[in-house]
Every structure is written in structure tokens, then in C-alpha cells.
């Protein structure tokens, strides 16, 4: 019998010796995804692939992230379609180590950001349809699946405080409403499971804590986060 890892939702990931795993780290802006990736980067079994914010702030000389926040109705479609491209690049990068850890995925672009933009009318019906057709096409391709989703679940107020504290210049004008809306969309997608079948089991971690406590949680959950690879 293959050994199993049970996560908090009591879902199971089959363990096979030598198998390679892809783990997607999800959660609101400011929930601590980068910190988790930095923490596990030190492990020799983990390849951590951070979200390419640098790439988004310099698309052949254009700061797409800044434009997105300056004028969302004009730039959300461009930003999301570019984010989708950079996410496919992350998903399809060949495994260099047994566990490939991704900061977000094609799935969060679709279920959180694109959904939010459509509900707020910063993308229109045609743009939404185009992004969704791309999403369906790309996620049906080999190499874009994930084996586990780690959801860093934090109170939107905590996320907002962290965003203000780190003061990334592009995010200076991020309204609290965006963080609250994105929180609800993550909850809808990963906890309520209202967006259809999830691509993988979800491990929910309480991300409201400060760094020292978070690293303790990472250690306690290490085996589950790494799909049993050690």
C-alpha cells in the first residue's frame, strides 16, 4: 500500500518514491507567501519559484503592476493576460528538485484576480471570456497541474497592515476593499469550494501569526507541505 499524507481537510495525496511534486502557495496579498517560499528554499529537496514581480514591473520597459493600480479599467486585462503567461512559465519549468513550490498559480489568477476584476467591471465580458478560454486551454495542458495547495489564510486586516508596512511603491494606493474582496474570493475558492472541483487537496495554515510562530507552524507541518518528501 502506498503511504498517504492526510491534510487538515482529510484529503489524501498518494506518495510514491522518486515522484516529483508541485505545491502551490496561495493566499491574499500580504499573507506571507514569499516568507514561506524563502523559508523552504533552504531545503535541498525544494525548488522555490517566486512570483515574477520584477518581470511585471518591467515588461520591456513598461511597469505593468504600476499601471494596473493607476488605472485598473484600462490595464487589468493586459496585466492578467501577462500574469497568465508568467504563471505558465512557472508551472512548466522542469523540476530541478523533488518538490517544486510555486508562489500562486494559474488557478488563483483565474478564481481570485480575474473574477474580482470582472465583478468590479475593471474587465468587460469579452475580456473575461478571453481570459477564461485561455485558462481552460492552459490548465488542460500537461505540466500545469498541482499536487497540493497550501492556503495561507490570514485576516484581511492583517494583510492590509503588512502591505502598508512593506510599502511596495506600486501598491501605495491599494484600497482595503480590494484586500477584503480578494480574501472572500480565496475563501470561496479554497474553503467553500464554490469554483468547481479543486485541482488538488488544500492544506490550510493560519497565517495571522508573526514570523517566529509561522516558522514553528512550517516545521510542524513540514512533511505535509512537502507532500511527504524529506
- The residues that touch ligand DGT, with contacts defined as CB under 6 A, are 27, 29-34, 51, 53, 65, 68, 76, 79-80, 83, 104, 109, 113, 171
Give the shortest CB-208-to-ligand DGT separation in angstroms: 13
Question: Following CA atoms 172, 178, 180, 184 in sequence, which dihedral angle do they give, to the nearest 10 degrees?
Answer: -140
The answer to whether 153 touches 202, Cβ cutoff 8 Å, is no
Give the shortest CB-27-to-ligand DGT separation in angstroms: 6
The answer to whether 15 touches 147, Cβ cutoff 8 Å, is no
The answer to whether 177 touches 28, Cβ cutoff 8 Å, is no
Q: Between 15 and 130, name the residue whose CB sits nearer to ligand DGT.
A: 130
The answer to whether 201 touches 7, Cβ cutoff 8 Å, is yes
Q: Between 50 and 93, name the residue whose CB sits nearer to ligand DGT.
A: 50
Give the shortest CB-33-to-ligand DGT separation in angstroms: 3
Q: What's the DSSP call for residue 94?
A: P
- Residue 23 CA to its chain's centroid (Å): 10
Q: Between 21 and 79, name the residue whose CB sits nearer to ligand DGT.
A: 79
103 is catalytic: yes
Selected catalytic residue, list 103, 115, 127, 224: 103
Amino acid at each position: 500500500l502506498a503511504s498517504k499524507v492526510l491534510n487538515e481537510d482529510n484529503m489524501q495525496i498518494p506518495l510514491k518514491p522518486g515522484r516529483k511534486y508541485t505545491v502551490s502557495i496561495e493566499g491574499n496579498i500580504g499573507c506571507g507567501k514569499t516568507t514561506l517560499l524563502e523559508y523552504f528554499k533552504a531545503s535541498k529537496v525544494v525548488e522555490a519559484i517566486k512570483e515574477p514581480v520584477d518581470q511585471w514591473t518591467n515588461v520591456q520597459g513598461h511597469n505593468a503592476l504600476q499601471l494596473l493600480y493607476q488605472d485598473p479599467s484600462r490595464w487589468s486585462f493586459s496585466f492578467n493576460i501577462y500574469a497568465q503567461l508568467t504563471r505558465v512559465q512557472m508551472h512548466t519549468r522542469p523540476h530541478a528538485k523533488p518538490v517544486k513550490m510555486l508562489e500562486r498559480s494559474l488557478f488563483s489568477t483565474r478564481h481570485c484576480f480575474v473574477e474580482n476584476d470582472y465583478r468590479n467591471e475593471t474587465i468587460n465580458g469579452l475580456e473575461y471570456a478571453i481570459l477564461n478560454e485561455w485558462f481552460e486551454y492552459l490548465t488542460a495542458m500537461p505540466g500545469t497541474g498541482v499536487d497540493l495547495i497550501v492556503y495561507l489564510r490570514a485576516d484581511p486586516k492583517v494583510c492590509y497592515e503588512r502591505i502598508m508596512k512593506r510599502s511596495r511603491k506600486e501598491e501605495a494606493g491599494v484600497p482595503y476593499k480590494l484586500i477584503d474582496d480578494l480574501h472572500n474570493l480565496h475563501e470561496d475558492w479554497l474553503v467553500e469550494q464554490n469554483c468547481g472541483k479543486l485541482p488538488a487537496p488544500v492544506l490550510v495554515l493560519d497565517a495571522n501569526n508573526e514570523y517566529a510562530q509561522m516558522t514553528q507552524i512550517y516545521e510542524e507541518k513540514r512533511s505535509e507541505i512537502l507532500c511527504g518528501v524529506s
